[in-house]
């Protein structure tokens, strides 16, 4: 059995009782960054062995992990924050397990874009999840596509590229398009700003931006 286990996106209390039980009972926990996961496990007094599984090694390690599962091991996969495989490693392993007939179970839990979408006040009856935009090649093409969507779209962005991203969104969507920037969700310095792209660009240009960021842009009318 492979368990996909969501972990808190900030506040350590945002984890289910079932997730804690699974993390205690499995043979191995595969972690995106073992240093980050150790903090969570230490907080909940969980001593299950950790092993590294991230974007730079997953292509090489997936076959051996599937073999372990087929031999009877029970393994949990976690990312640094949120649900694995959502803009994080996990898809390759899940696909390989499904193809090999290994049972996979994904637990419900934290995912950053859901509270961001609800908090934003933007229409959410339909939405488009883009995740991280390409850094260079293909970025302008994706922005042009997203700007024409008739419903809210969701981006993940680095604090170092947020201001540039808002500038590019203004270019493609218009300065008056309503949008929202959510920063440090569930943490002490959580910030949710809903305004026009022009005002958001001005706001975040005037300060040092830190933390994980979700950007939401309303659809084209």
Question: Are 125 and 88 in the same domain?
Answer: no
CB neighbour list of residue 137: distance below 8 Å, 6 or more residues apart: none
Count of structural domains, the chain: 2
Question: Are 21 and 98 in the same domain?
Answer: yes
Question: Are 53 and 89 in the same domain?
Answer: yes
CATH number at residue 189: 3.30.950.10
Structure tokens at 96: 């390989």
Let me know if 16 is exposed, middle or buried by CB neighbors in 10 A (0-12, 13-18, 19+).
Answer: middle
In this predicted structure, what is the pLDDT of residue 94? Answer: 97
In this predicted structure, what is the pLDDT of residue 112? Answer: 95
Say how far apart CA 137 and CA 142 lie, in whole Å: 10
Asked whether the beta carbons of 26 and 39 are under 8 A apart, the reply is no
In this predicted structure, what is the pLDDT of residue 122? Answer: 98
Let me know if 34 is exposed, middle or buried by CB neighbors in 10 A (0-12, 13-18, 19+).
Answer: middle
Question: Are 49 and 134 in the same domain?
Answer: no
Closest of 161, 185, 179, 168 to residue 215, by C-alpha = 179
In this predicted structure, what is the pLDDT of residue 176? Answer: 97
Say how far apart CA 71 and CA 160 lie, in whole Å: 44
Q: Which domain holds residue 208?
A: 113-217
In this predicted structure, what is the pLDDT of residue 136? Answer: 87
CATH number at residue 11: 3.40.1010.10
Say how far apart CA 97 and CA 175 lie, in whole Å: 46
In this predicted structure, what is the pLDDT of residue 140? Answer: 95
Question: Are 28 and 65 in the same domain?
Answer: yes
Phi, psi of 109 (to 5 degrees): 170, -160
Predicted TM-score (pTM) above 0.95: no
* Single residue among 106, 130, 152 that ends a domain in this structure: 106
Q: Which residues of the chain, if any, have pLDDT below 50?
A: none
């Amino acid at each position: 059995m492979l368990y996909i286990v969501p972990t808190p996106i900030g506040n350590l209390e945002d984890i289910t009782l079932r997730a804690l039980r699974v993390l205690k009972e499995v043979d191995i926990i595969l972690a995106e960054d073992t240093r980050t996961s150790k903090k969570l496990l230490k907080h909940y007094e969980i001593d299950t062995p950790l092993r590294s599984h991230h974007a730079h090694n997953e292509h090489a390690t997936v076959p051996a992990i599937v073999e372990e599962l087929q031999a009877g091991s029970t393994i949990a996969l976690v990312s640094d924050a949120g649900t694995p495989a959502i803009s994080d490693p996990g898809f390759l392993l899940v696909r390989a397990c499904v193809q090999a007939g290994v049972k996979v179970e994904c637990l419900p839990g934290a995912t950053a874009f859901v509270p961001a979408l609800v908090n934003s006040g933007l229409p959410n009856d339909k939405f488009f999840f883009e995740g991280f935009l390409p850094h260079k090649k293909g970025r302008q093409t994706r922005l042009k596509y997203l700007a024409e969507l008739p419903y809210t779209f969701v981006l993940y962005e680095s604090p170092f590229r947020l201001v540039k991203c808002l500038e590019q969104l203004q270019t493609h969507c218009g300065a008056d398009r309503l949008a929202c920037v959510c920063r440090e969700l569930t943490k002490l310095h959580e910030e949710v700003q809903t305004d026009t792209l022009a005002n958001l660009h001005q706001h975040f240009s005037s300060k040092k931006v830190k933390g994980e960021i979700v950007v939401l842009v309303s659809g084209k009318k």
